[in-house]
Amino acid sequence: MGSLVLVPRLVLADVRRHRLQAAMLLLAVTVATATMALGLSLNGVSDALYEQTRAATAGPDVVVLSGEPGPAATSALSSLARAPEVTAHHGPYRIVYADLAVHGRTSNVVVHGFAEKPGAVNRPLTTSGHWVRPGGTVLERGFATALGVGVGDRVTIAGRSYPVVGIAVTAATSVYPGAAQIGPGGAGSDYSGLAWMTRPDAKALASAHDLPVTVALDLALRDPARADAFREAHRDPDLRLTFRSWRFTAAQDLNLLKDSQPILIVGSWLIGFLAITGVAALAAGRAAEQTRRAGLLKAVGAGPGLIATVLLTEYLALALAGDALGLLIAQLSVPAIASPTDSRIGDAAGPGTAAVVTATLLAVAVAVLSTLRPTLRARRTATVTALTATAHRPRHRPRLTALSALLPTPLLLGLRLTARRPGRAVLQACSTATTVIAIVALLTLHAQTERGYGLGGSSVLPNLRGEHDRRLMLAVAVLLITLAVVNTVTFTWTTAMEAEANMAVARTLGATPGQITAGLSAAQLLPTLPGAVLGVPLGDGLLSLFAARNAVQAPSSWLLAAVLATLVATAALTALPARLAARRPVARALSAEAA
Amino acid sequence: MNGSSAAAVVTRGLVKQHGQGHGGVRAVDEIDLEVPQGQTLAVMGPSGCGKSTLLHLLGGLERPDGGEVWLAGRRIDTLSERALARMRRRSVGFVFQGFHLMEELTAAENVELPALLAGRSRRQARRRAGRLLDQVGLTARARHLPSQLSGGQRQRVAVARALVNDPLVVLADEPTGNLDTAATHDVLRIFGELRSAGQTFVIVTHDERVAATADRLISMRDGMFVDDLRMAAARPRGLGGLIGLGD
Amino acid sequence: MQDAVLAMLAKEPSHGYELHARLRRSLGPLGESMNRGQIYVTLARLERAGLVTSEREDGLPERPERKVHALTPAGQQRVTAWLAEVGWPKPDLAEFHLKLAAAAAGRLADPVELIAAQRRELLRRLREAQQAALAEPAEPGPAEPGPAESGPAGPGAGLLLEGVMLRLRADLRWLDACERAWSRADDEIEGG
């Protein structure tokens, strides 16, 4: 039992001594798990919001629509309302296809003609103002938000001005801009907002302008789960009726998030990968020290199990802390990300069990993958060897060394530094490739053209989904780039510290601080170049897995600029730590080595 | 002190302070020194007497807080870092107690490195390295990594490296500190050959054997010179006297 | 010296010049000042003491002084006793210590100066020994697996030189300690 007391003490002491590293691990894992948990929570959150809206607005189990209004349709709908499975109904009511203009923006709108006193089914919830009254209209909340309209504003519907008397939400239609379940005459629908008017107003609107109309009926079933069976049972061969089950509408909500999920999930994998490379580089930099620590523990009688526990616990504890933090962030940011419109109400529940488990697995994987090798090595190394361990000895690379002899001094030093730690060079290349993948995705997303939500696809009302995707992609790219920056700085500093004695010797041999700085920068830039060049096709390939058929590629000039910018940024990022390292007094570095 | 024009190393009122204010210690305290071309100067003293700091000041690895350092008639304490680096390439060769070889480079590559830094062609660098490794008796080990060499061999590589750019002066900091007797003798033998060829040395050491081979021996304490002993070329006066024979 | 010559005869009877040559070989550069006369004087003394006998060698009448020396039983006993003896010559530090004390007490000389002079002398000796050692062929050791040299049986004179130098270095370090101590004593007198 005594040894179990020892573990936290050793772990805490080590974390205290390596705060920066601990902070980096924490940051990396937090970002990775938050992104992953968000990605995995989207479905559940969207469903939950729909569910809450449905409960608050007595959402119908089935909406039946007929694009060909007339006595036949009306009687068919009325008979459906009397069907034995039906417990309550609302309608039939008129849906008028019109256009709406406000503040110089125009949009399609479907106007539902409702009673001033809502019925038993589909009772839209007024979130501000009040319900329809003669001459006034109520706007669906997601639509109103997109238009920037509030209660008291006036909107022009089919050329006539109406005051907005209220804002409401409903579960009977999909979120904005999917309010038109079917188009005029049962055709396909265009992006539309939703407005409500009194029945007479809606009727007047339709007849005054001879606007197309659809008739709809909202039904509540005895068994909501049998909504699909209801459709099968009541299919009318003579009349084209459209049945919309609540499940279908809920699934439509997710359409808006179609691209968000891959952005977040793939993004979280990339972030997790960067986290692993960064933390692995740090852990490798400390491998010698860890080996010595393991040796000390063995010397005082600790078994291999305890040693592995101590070494792994530190990373695991930090990773789990990062996991918890990431899940918290996911929980807090989920409403904003999972509900890009205001068409639904309710609180987004946090990440579900599956998301929590997966994110935690990711965190554990980061910790284990990045420390497994040093930990195993530390365990295996014989005690005496471990106690005298110095940093793992770099291997001789005759070809690179010979090649570098032909180069100017900074490249000579840089190439030899790269040759010292080929593993780190690979990590740096991977890190760069990941960054470039993110940038390519960002650029490609920005290169897409899409239909706006305004009238006739005008972008006076921006495409919410596109906006949302770009915002998300930007956030993921920013996170990825941040981690890549941290990685690059860490790599440079670790390289500089490991090569400190060597660089000090080079100084005594007559290398200038400028040459040392340039050499350290070159050591990072050399692997960055292939990484950046590789990142472009990798990014394209990754995107093509998710892209729509009509997706266009970003212009190659953009991609070239991105690669160049990455190189320049890396050079700039490495310059500072390299310069700091190169300016350290030579005499001190040399005497530290001798001591 | 004759022929100051021929002096390889000159210092005037050299001061180096470690730490600030009253807590500060003068590691080098007003030192005047003149080392003529071809002289071997040994500086002895207990640890912390400032002898290593003096060596670093002479090689431009540290900057003095006061006074002047001249190498081959050129004042170096006012030079920029870049100019100092160039000066080191051309005029100074360092040999350290800890060898300070680059572990991932072979013996030959280590020796070539300063030549490459000084802008020599690869072929020139290789030729010079080959000659110097021959001189220190390590031709057979030119392609070995430092980890495959004994301490004495490593130090001989370091000496060859210090010499590759024909330095004006070799600055050696405890060159035999990590060596056994046989290796010490190897290094001293090489130093002896170089001295015969006119190489100037400043050697900081607490090994009396190294000091005893110098032309001049300065004892240092608390940053100051306390004794300055010039040793005549050894006249064999009958070694038997050392063991009580023959007298 | 007498004991060493006796011990060399224990292997087999030898000529005086052979003994001289063997001693020179063992002492290396340290034995250069030793002449053959010293050996003959030593042999004569040993013979008088009954530890050594000598007889003229047959068949070489043209070299009449050429005698073969051999151990007597008493000589053999003396060699055995010498080998078993563990006595060790003591360096005479006390004398120098007292010299410093006396110089300081009587204000006859500055002890620090005396130490410096002594130090110079020891350094001069160390320099001689060092140069002799450097002139010796390098010891074949594990660090330098060169071709094995066919030298005299056992380690050469380099080993003896190393011993000499270690002694000198020990004495030099003691002189450093003396110097520190007497400098401090000086300071206290001046300060007080």
What is the per-residue pLDDT across B77-132, written as a single tens digit (0 to 9) for each? 999 888 888 888 889 999 988 888 888 788 998 898 888 888 888 899 899 999 99
Q: B36 to chain A nearest CA, in Å?
A: 22
Comparing B210 with A17, the larger pLDDT belongs to B210
B32 close to A (CB below 8 A): no
* A506 contacts in chain B (CB < 8 Å): 113, 117
Q: What is the pLDDT of residue B1?
A: 41
DSSP secondary structure string for all residues of C67-124: EEEEE-HHHHHHHHHHHH----PPP-HHHHHHHHHHHHHTTSS-HHHHHHHHHHHHHH
Is B226 part of any domain?
yes
End-to-end Cα distance, chain B? 37
B239 close to C (CB below 8 A): yes
Could you tell me if A446 and A537 lie in one domain? Answer: yes
> Using CB atoms, which residue from B98, B105, B125 is nearest to A396?
B105
Give the range of the structural domain holding residue B211, as residue numbers without chain letter. Answer: 37-52+78-232
CB contact under 8 A, C139 and B182: yes
- A116 phi/psi in degrees, rounded to 5: -70, -25
B240 close to C (CB below 8 A): yes
Q: How confident is the model at residue A546 (pLDDT cuts 50, 70, 90)?
A: confident
Chains touching C (3+ CB pairs < 8 Å) = B
The answer to whether B and A touch (≥3 CB pairs < 8 Å) is yes
Judged against a pLDDT cut of 80, whether residue A149 lies above it is answered with: yes
Residue A575 structure tokens: 């310059």
> Could you report the per-residue pLDDT of A455-497, keeping only the tens digit for each?
777 777 778 888 888 888 888 888 888 888 888 888 888 888 7
Could you tell me if A107 and A149 lie in one domain? Answer: yes
Is A110 part of any domain?
yes
Could you tell me if A440 and A562 lie in one domain? Answer: yes
Q: What gap in Å lies between CA A365 and CA C121, rounded to an integer?
A: 72
Q: What is the pLDDT of residue A3?
A: 62
Q: Which residue of B has its CA nearest to A421?
A: B104
Is A357 part of any domain?
yes
Q: What is the pLDDT of residue A549?
A: 67
Q: Which residue of B has its CA nearest to A405?
A: B122
* C164 contacts in chain B (CB < 8 Å): 242-243
Is A168 part of any domain?
yes
Q: B170 to chain A nearest CA, in Å?
A: 12
The answer to whether C and A touch (≥3 CB pairs < 8 Å) is no
Could you tell me if A40 and A72 lie in one domain? Answer: no
Q: What gap in Å lies between CA C161 and CA C29, rounded to an integer?
A: 9
Q: What is the pLDDT of residue B205?
A: 92
CB contact under 8 A, C129 and B208: no
Q: How many domains does chain B fold into?
A: 1
Q: What gap in Å lies between CA B45 and CA B227, rounded to an integer?
A: 10
Mutate which of A509, A512, A515 to disrupt the B interface (most B C-beta within 10 Å)? A509
Q: How many domains does chain A fold into?
A: 3
B86 close to A (CB below 8 A): yes
> Using CB atoms, which residue from B151, B185, B240 is nearest to C138?
B185
CB contact under 8 A, A405 and B125: yes
Judged against a pLDDT cut of 60, whether residue B232 lies above it is answered with: yes
Report the SS3 class of residue B225.
strand
Is A293 part of any domain?
no
Q: A256 to chain B nearest CA, in Å?
A: 57
Task: List the domain boundaries for chain C.
Answer: 2-84, 93-191
Is A248 part of any domain?
no
* B97 contacts in chain A (CB < 8 Å): 594
Is A108 part of any domain?
yes
Cβ C67 vs Cβ C56: under 8 Å: yes
B138 close to C (CB below 8 A): no
Q: Which residue of A has its CA nearest to B83?
A: A512
Q: What is the DSSP letter of B132?
A: H
Q: What is the pLDDT of residue A595?
A: 40
Could you tell me if A98 and A232 lie in one domain? Answer: yes
Q: C124 to chain B nearest CA, in Å?
A: 7
- pTM for this predicted structure: 0.72
Average pLDDT value for chain A? 83
Average pLDDT value for chain B? 87
- C96-127 as b/e: b if 16+ CB within 10 A: beebbeebbeeeeeebbebbbebbeebbbbbb
Q: What is the pLDDT of residue A512?
A: 86
**B 131-170 residues inside an 8 A Cβ radius of A:** 145, 147, 161, 165
Residue A152 structure tokens: 């008291």
Q: C147 to chain B nearest CA, in Å?
A: 14
* B53 contacts in chain A (CB < 8 Å): 587
C181 close to B (CB below 8 A): no
Could you tell me if A355 and A263 lie in one domain? Answer: yes
C131 close to B (CB below 8 A): yes
Judged against a pLDDT cut of 90, whether residue A47 lies above it is answered with: no
Cβ A95 vs Cβ A242: under 8 Å: no
Q: B85 to chain C nearest CA, in Å?
A: 35
Q: Which residue of B has its CA nearest to C23?
A: B245
Q: Which residue of A has its CA nearest to B124?
A: A405
- A195-227 as b/e: b if 16+ CB within 10 A: bbbbbebbebbbeeeebbbbbbbbbbbeebebb
Domain with residue B211: its CATH number is 3.40.50.300
Q: What is the pLDDT of residue B2?
A: 41
What is the CATH topology of the domain spanning C2-84? Arc Repressor Mutant, subunit A (1.10.10)
The alpha carbon of residue B202 and the mean position of all alpha carbons in its chain are separated, in whole angstroms, by 5
C133 close to B (CB below 8 A): yes
* C132 contacts in chain B (CB < 8 Å): 239
pLDDT of chain C along its 192 residues, tens only? 788 888 888 888 888 888 888 888 888 878 777 788 888 888 889 989 988 888 876 665 555 457 888 889 998 999 889 888 888 877 788 889 999 999 888 888 888 889 988 988 898 889 888 888 888 765 544 444 444 444 445 677 788 888 889 999 999 999 989 988 888 877 766 554
For this complex, say whether ipTM is above 0.90: no
B151 close to C (CB below 8 A): yes
B9 close to C (CB below 8 A): no
Q: Which residue of B has its CA nearest to A403?
A: B122
* C30 contacts in chain B (CB < 8 Å): 239-240, 242-243, 245
> Using CB atoms, which residue from B151, B185, B227 is nearest to C134?
B185
Q: Which residue of B has its CA nearest to A582?
A: B81
CB contact under 8 A, B188 and C128: no
Q: What is the pLDDT of residue A321?
A: 93
Judged against a pLDDT cut of 70, whether residue B246 lies above it is answered with: no
* B147 contacts in chain A (CB < 8 Å): 393
H/E stretch holding B89: helix B81-91
B228 close to C (CB below 8 A): no
Mean pLDDT of the A406-412 span: 79
Q: How confident is the model at residue A162 (pLDDT cuts 50, 70, 90)?
A: very high
Q: What gap in Å lies between CA B173 and CA B192, rounded to an integer?
A: 17
Could you tell me if A389 and A411 lie in one domain? Answer: no
Give the range of the structural domain holding residue A556, as residue numbers without chain letter. Answer: 398-595
> Using CB atoms, which residue from B62, B90, B96 is nearest to A585?
B62
Q: What is the pLDDT of residue A1?
A: 47
CB contact under 8 A, A509 and B89: yes
Q: What is the pLDDT of residue A503?
A: 84
Q: What gap in Å lies between CA B108 and CA A402, rounded to an integer?
A: 11
Q: What gap in Å lies between CA B181 and CA C141, rounded to an integer?
A: 11
- B78 phi/psi in degrees, rounded to 5: -100, 0
* C123 contacts in chain B (CB < 8 Å): 208, 211-212, 217, 229, 231
Is A144 part of any domain?
yes
Could you tell me if A558 and A496 lie in one domain? Answer: yes
C129 close to B (CB below 8 A): yes
Q: How confident is the model at residue A12 (pLDDT cuts 50, 70, 90)?
A: confident
* A586 contacts in chain B (CB < 8 Å): 56, 61-62
Q: C59 to chain B nearest CA, in Å?
A: 35
Mutate which of B191, B219, B239, B245 to disrupt the C interface (most C C-beta within 10 Å)? B239
CB contact under 8 A, C160 and B229: no
Q: What is the pLDDT of residue B65?
A: 92
Is B8 part of any domain?
no
Judged against a pLDDT cut of 90, whether residue A452 lies above it is answered with: no
CA angle A196, A199, A204 (to 5 degrees): 100
Q: How confident is the model at residue B57 (pLDDT cuts 50, 70, 90)?
A: very high
> Could you report the per-residue pLDDT of B138-196, keeping only the tens digit for each?
999 999 988 889 999 999 999 999 999 999 999 999 999 888 888 998 899 999 999 99
pLDDT over 90, % of chain A: 12
Q: What gap in Å lies between CA B231 and CA C121, rounded to an integer?
A: 10
Q: Which residue of C has its CA nearest to B221?
A: C180
- CB contacts < 8 A (B, C): 91
